[in-house]
Amino acid sequence: MRLSVEIGAARLTLAALSALEPGGIVELDRRSDELIDILVNDRLLARGEVVTIGDRFGVRLVELVA
């Protein structure tokens, strides 16, 4: 099984992508207060929110998708 967490998406040209430098910011298509998608084998399973656990990131499940 493949588990993926999608926090947002952005469209960039190859030139814009190659022009990114360390510390550069890519703006995503979601607001920071929106739920993220949790996918299993590329199928939406649930939605959740990003949490920090010490110095690591985690995901808290908020709703299961039918």
CATH number at residue 43: 2.30.330.10
pTM of the model: 0.75
pLDDT at 6: 94
Which of 31, 35, 34 is closest to 44 using CA atoms?
Answer: 35
What is the tally of structural domains in the chain? Answer: 1
pLDDT at 66: 80
What is the extent of the structural domain holding 49?
A: 3-64
How many other C-beta atoms are found inside a 10 Å radius of the C-beta of residue 34? 13
pLDDT in tens, 9-21: 999 999 999 999 9
Structural contact between residues 31 and 21, judged by C-beta atoms closer than 8 angstroms? no
pLDDT in tens, 16-63: 999 999 999 999 999 989 999 999 999 999 999 999 999 999 999 999
Q: What amino acid is encoded at 5 in this protein?
A: V
